[in-house]
């Protein structure tokens, strides 16, 4: 349920709102989807073409273990639609997730990486699954009729695609009524699946904190329809009336460790150091990351470059070397930090260790040049 629609408004794009389709009954099982009402078949066809376009563009994460883990959560939430509400992981950092009319649910790696446990992830998947089971695409009144808005939407994914399928997926933001219904149905699914209801609140609190701390301007999952604070209030009220349930913290951490490190690397490449500091600066979330995460936090401090950040960066680099000694980038990072400080004697063995661990490093020439200016170890 991306909110590219809000950005389209901000940029002056025009959205047409034809008459709303008749209300249709939600599906109770996959067998009922064998007969589609008028117009629905074409929506499914367009959705299938979108699935294919994303796959051909190399946007989908193909890690079999990770995909099986995500699909298992959806199957637990919607057992009567087992393996038919298909979860796909998008290699993108935007904090986003969306559902298509045919039951394809896409969740971005950047969103998964922000959560602390499986119950929080399940909150998002349950919401998106509800858009499919309750056929919100067929009922959706709003359509995109502006080519510039289409270009913006498509550009976010880098996939050449046109047609109403974008407007008819939760990527573009359903009506306030449909979003609230998806919240309610998703919450009921969480309870039925045995997940801890209080974690649904934390899902939105994490996103709210990141919006505020990082001053995010890009489309943001659950940013409105209704706004995050309203969602936090609604889920807080709902969770008071239900017993506790499973959080599945350890299972989540185990299955998403490599994904979360890759997400940190992608954020670092894009200079999103504020996000890294926000996530890893919190002790509650820091403990969920592998020890190599200290390197990314050190680099984030280095890029921020405020008073005291050099010392913080050095502290994190040394921690990473201590806890993940064979992670080559940390040796290079600390070596350059010491080298630029003028402590070339201390930098020399770190440079050499980096080349031992990464003999085919792309920056080997730069490191060897720096070594020529350091005393032999």
- CA-CA distance, 290 to 270, in Å (whole number)? 21
Task: Note down pLDDT in tens along the chain; length 377 residues.
Answer: 433 332 222 222 223 333 344 567 898 998 988 888 877 888 888 889 889 988 998 989 999 999 999 999 999 999 999 999 999 999 988 778 888 889 999 999 988 998 889 999 999 999 999 999 988 776 663 343 333 444 444 455 555 444 444 443 444 456 677 778 888 899 999 999 999 988 888 877 777 777 776 666 544 444 443 467 777 777 777 777 776 899 999 999 999 999 999 999 999 999 999 989 988 988 878 888 999 999 999 999 999 999 999 999 999 999 999 999 999 999 999 999 999 999 999 999 999 999 999 999 999 999 999 999 888 76
- CA-CA distance, 3 to 222, in Å (whole number)? 8
Two tokens, residue 249: 């913290």
- CA-CA distance, 275 to 164, in Å (whole number)? 33
Each as own residue / partner, the long-range contacts of residues 231-238 (CB below 8 Å, 24 or more positions apart, any chain) are: 231/183, 231/204, 232/201, 232/204, 232/205, 232/208, 234/183, 235/183, 235/187, 235/197, 235/200, 235/201, 235/204, 236/201, 238/187, 238/197, 238/200
Global pTM reads: 0.81
Coil, helix or strand at residue 98: strand
For Cα atoms 189, 153, 146, give the angle at the middle one, nearest 5 degrees.
115
- Domains of the chain in start order, with CATH, are 4-239 (no CATH), 257-371 (1.25.40.10)
- CA-CA distance, 105 to 133, in Å (whole number)? 12
- CA distances 373 to 75, 247, 267, 339, Å, are 59, 53, 32, 9
Sort strands 86-90 and 104-108 into parallel, antiparallel or unpaired.
parallel
- CA distances 251 to 66, 69, 73, 111, 200, Å, are 12, 9, 11, 17, 17
Q: Report CA 7 to chain centroid distance, whole Å.
A: 19
């Amino acid at each position: 349920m991306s909110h590219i629609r809000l950005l389209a408004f901000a940029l002056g794009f025009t959205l047409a709102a034809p008459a709303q389709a008749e209300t249709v009954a939600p599906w109770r099982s996959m067998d009922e989807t064998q007969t589609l009402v008028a117009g629905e078949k074409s929506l499914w066809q367009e959705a299938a073409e979108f699935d294919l376009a994303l796959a051909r563009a190399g946007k989908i994460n193909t890690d079999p273990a990770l995909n099986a883990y995500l699909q298992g959560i959806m199957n637990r939430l919607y057992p009567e639609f087992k393996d038919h509400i298909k979860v796909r992981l998008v290699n993108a950092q935007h904090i986003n997730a969306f559902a298509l009319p045919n039951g394809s649910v896409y969740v971005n790696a950047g969103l998964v990486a922000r959560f602390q446990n499986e119950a929080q992830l399940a909150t998002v998947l349950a919401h998106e699954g509800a858009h499919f089971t309750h056929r919100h695409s067929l009922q959706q009144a709003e359509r995109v009729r502006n080519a510039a808005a289409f270009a913006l939407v498509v550009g976010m994914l880098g996939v050449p695609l046109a047609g109403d399928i974008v407007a008819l997926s939760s990527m573009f933001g359903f009506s306030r009524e449909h979003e609230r219904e998806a919240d309610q149905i998703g919450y009921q699914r969480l309870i039925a699946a045995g997940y801890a209801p209080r974690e649904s609140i934390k899902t939105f609190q994490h996103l709210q904190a990141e919006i505020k701390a990082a001053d995010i301007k890009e489309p943001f999952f659950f940013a409105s329809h209704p706004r995050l604070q309203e969602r936090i209030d609604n889920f807080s009220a709902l969770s008071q009336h239900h017993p506790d349930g499973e959080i599945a913290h350890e299972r989540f951490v185990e299955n998403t460790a490599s994904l979360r490190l890759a997400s940190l690397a992608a954020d670092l490449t894009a200079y999103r150091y504020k996000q890294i500091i926000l996530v890893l600066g919190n002790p509650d979330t820091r403990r969920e990351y592998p020890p190599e995460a200290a390197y990314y936090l050190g680099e984030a401090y280095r890029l921020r470059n405020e008073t005291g950040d050099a010392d913080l960066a050095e502290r994190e680099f040394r921690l990473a070397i201590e806890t993940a000694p064979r992670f080559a980038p940390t040796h290079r990072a600390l070596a350059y930090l010491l080298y630029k400080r003028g402590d070339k004697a201390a930098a020399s063995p770190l440079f050499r260790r980096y080349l031992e661990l990464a003999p085919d490093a792309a920056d080997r020439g730069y490191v060897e040049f720096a070594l020529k200016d350091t005393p032999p170890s």
